[in-house]
Amino acid sequence: MNKSALRLGSIYLVIFVVFYLFTLLGFSNLSCSDSLFCIGTSAFIGLIGLLILYVKKEADAQADTFRLLIMITVQLLSFLSICLALIYTNQPNQLVIHLLALALAMIVVQTIYIARRLKATNEF
């Protein structure tokens, strides 16, 4: 892993803290354990994404682009599969919406970060 992976991981951490604060401050009707479930699930999916993108990273731009596309596809499918499982098991709608909002925040922020990094240095 390199410095860019650690920065992206720290951005994930900031997103998780913000979403947990939403729960603690009462903006969300979730319990703390449900919020921690969403954060833990998202952290695991984010870790898988970081591993896909940064393990055995090559200097080839085409290979990096394919890794980025694979990472985002895996993350989207993972989040949607977990949300489907939550809906199928009759979990509260607030839990599903909270997880989807967390997923959207993670994917949008990581895409912006990686796009800016590519524009500035031509590598992740």
Query: Got the DSSP string for 46-77?
Result: HHHHHHHHHTT--S-HHHHHHHHHHHHHHHHH
Its domain, for residue 61, covers 3-121
**Candidate from 29-33, 75-79, 114-118 with smallest mean pLDDT:** 114-118
Q: Would you give the DSSP letter of residue 90?
A: T
Q: What is the pLDDT of residues 39-57, one digit of tens each?
A: 999 999 999 998 888 887 7
Decide if pLDDT at 120 tops 60: yes
Q: Residue 111: what residue type?
A: T
Q: What is the pLDDT of residues 79-104, one digit of tens each?
A: 999 999 999 999 999 999 999 999 99
Number of domains composing the chain:
1
Decide if pLDDT at 123 tops 90: no
- Spatial contact of 16 and 43, defined as CB atoms under 8 Å apart: yes
Q: Is 26 left (phi over 0), alpha (psi -120 to 50) or beta?
A: left
pTM given for the model: 0.87
> What's the rounded Cα separation, in Å, for the pair 19 and 36?
10
